[in-house]
Amino acid sequence: MASELTYRRHESQAQSDTYLPKPPKPFLPVTRAIRYMLREQRLLFVLLGIAIATVIFVLIPSSSSSRQFTGSYDSIPAQYFPNSDSSTRLSEKFVYEQRSVNSGGKIPLGLRRKGLRIVVTGGAGFVGSHLVDRLMERGDSVIVVDNFFTGRKENVMHHFGNPRFEMIRHDVVEPLLLEVDQIYHLACPASPVHYKFNPTNVVGTLNMLGLAKRVGARFLLTSTSEVYGDPLQHPQVETYWGNVNPIGVRSCYDEGKRTAETLAMDYHRGAGVEVRIARIFNTYGPRMCIDDGRVVSNFVAQALRKEPLTVYGDGKQTRSFQYVSDLVEGLMRLMEGEHVGPFNLGNPGEFTMLELAQVWHHLVGKPRVRFEPTASVVQETIDPNAKIEFRANTEDDPHKRKPDITKAKEQLGWEPKVALRKGLPLMVTDFRQRIFGDHKEGSSSTSGVVSNS
């Protein structure tokens, strides 16, 4: 038995010693790949494909997929733009256009431009809707965010159906998540009637700055000349800190905008957000809210309804009025430029309230009467049937308001072009149609170069 086991053990060892497997070849994967490429001329087809792709990328222009900056403005009503050269307002004045906010690259004027994705808060409002018109005509994709507190769908309905236009009913006091390149933050009631009822400056601005930080968008804040309060400096320059009553009836707007500017600069310095700040002075034009308590809209509505023109105080307080198309151009130049601001955007032409009342009377009542911009001739030129009704002045009403726009001229190349007497008839036509439903009135569009008011 023992010998048999011994023999089987030796036999097993002998068999195991005779098993010699083949060693693996170190370059087997490489040789297999080479044989595969050479088989049936596959290598030739690979090289041919590379050559075709190279020819396509080299010969086909890389700009074929980008949008062209047309600047036609055909879809905007002509009567809203009194300048004779309105078709070249923005496109022929920009020396450079920003291709993309994140890329930081610029291309010379005349070359094709990539459309941006832009959100306009308050885009259904007076100024916002005119801004949306210009952005859409430029070829951008626009998202309007509005809660319709003062905005109207009618202001942007002509863009419905355009694939580059979107509208969201939303209040900016609630957070919003979007993917955009630029943010124009206009959402805030601007008239005393509205902002005393619903102040939204601080929270809305904070939410939109948070959005700009998350997605890396450039942010433009529309501040106001109200940050100067009842100014002790005249005219007002951007370095003036203002004279504001922090607990007055207007403080929710005045101090709210001042706080919004502070937040914008803090996000700029602390979080690297690209911000732009515009301080807007009195603006007028089509699509203004009727009876919103502001002097311009009050006068035109009262004059059209044959009501007394309401003048608060002695009527000697002054304001400066710019047409909405001038403001929109200034906002776009500021957004596309490289300067943070703040910038005064307004018309340095200065009028007292009595002078403005006289202008309204000429436009609505007796348009052929020659206008003299002095308070001493008001009673002489007003129709005997027209009346000026004086009322007690409102609290903290500024006595003087006039922008110094030297900074905007030098750094943005911007200044207003539409004179008051050219812009007011356009607003009168719009108000007449909205108040009386009169669509038979002729267009008030004018031709020729327009001087500053």
pLDDT at res. 251: 76
Residue 353 Cα distances to 42, 294, 319, 321, 373, angstroms: 85, 11, 8, 11, 11
Q: Which CATH number characterizes residue 226's domain?
A: 3.40.50.720
Domain containing residue 358: 117-434
Q: Give the Cα separation of 294 and 250 in Å (integer).
A: 13
Residue 391 backbone phi and psi in degrees, to 5: -130, 165
Residue 85 lies in a domain: no
Tell me the C-alpha distance between 81 and 79, whole Å: 5
Distances in Å between the Cα of 165 and the Cα atoms of 99, 232, 324 are 20, 44, 21
Q: Which pairs from 430-433 meet CB under 8 Å and 24+ separation?
A: 430/285, 430/286, 430/287, 431/288, 431/290, 431/297, 431/300, 431/301, 431/304, 432/304
φ, ψ of residue 128 in degrees (nearest 5): -60, -40
Task: Report how far residue 158's alpha carbon sits from residue 75's, in angstroms, rounded to the nearest whole number.
Answer: 8
Q: What's the chain's Rg over C-alpha atoms?
A: 33
Positive/negative CA dihedral, 110, 418, 226, 206: negative
Strand, coil or helix: 172? coil
CB-side neighbour CA atoms (13 Å) of 189: 22
Walk across the sheet containing 343-345 and list its strands: 165-169, 141-146, 117-121, 182-185, 218-224, 275-280, 343-345
**Residue 270 to residue 256: CA distance in whole angstroms:** 21
User: Does 283 map to a domain?
Assistant: yes
Backbone torsions φ then ψ of 63, nearest 5 degrees? -90, 0
Tell me whether residue 324 is in a domain: yes
Return d(Cα 340, Cα 327) in angstroms, integer.
Answer: 17
Q: How high is the pLDDT of residue 379?
A: 29
Q: Which of 228, 253, 267, 284 is catalytic?
A: 253
Q: For residue range 254-283, list pLDDT tens digits in order.
A: 888 899 999 999 999 999 999 999 999 989
Does the predicted TM-score (pTM) go above 0.85? no
The CA dihedral of 39, 44, 46, 51, to the nearest 10 degrees, is 180
HEC profile of 284-343: ECCCCCCCCCCHHHHHHHHHHCCCCEEEECCCCCEEECEEHHHHHHHHHHHHHCCCCCCE
Interatomic CA distance for residues 228 and 236, integer angstroms: 8
Those residues with Cβ within 8 angstroms of residue 335's Cβ, 6 or more apart along the chain or in another chain? 182, 184, 218, 220, 276
* pLDDT the model gives residue 252: 78
36 belongs to the catalytic site: no
Please check whether residue 312 lies inside any domain of the structure: yes
On whether residue 384 sits in a domain, the answer given is yes
Q: Which residues in the chain land under pLDDT 70? A: 1-28, 30, 33, 36-43, 61-113, 190-200, 313-315, 353-386, 392-397, 438-453
Does residue 151 fall inside a structural domain? yes
Number of domains in the chain: 1
Answer whether residue 363 is part of any domain: yes
Buried b (16+ CB within 10 A) or exposed e, 234-249: ebbebebebebeeeee
- The two tokens of residue 129 are 């809707």
Is residue 139 domain-resident? yes
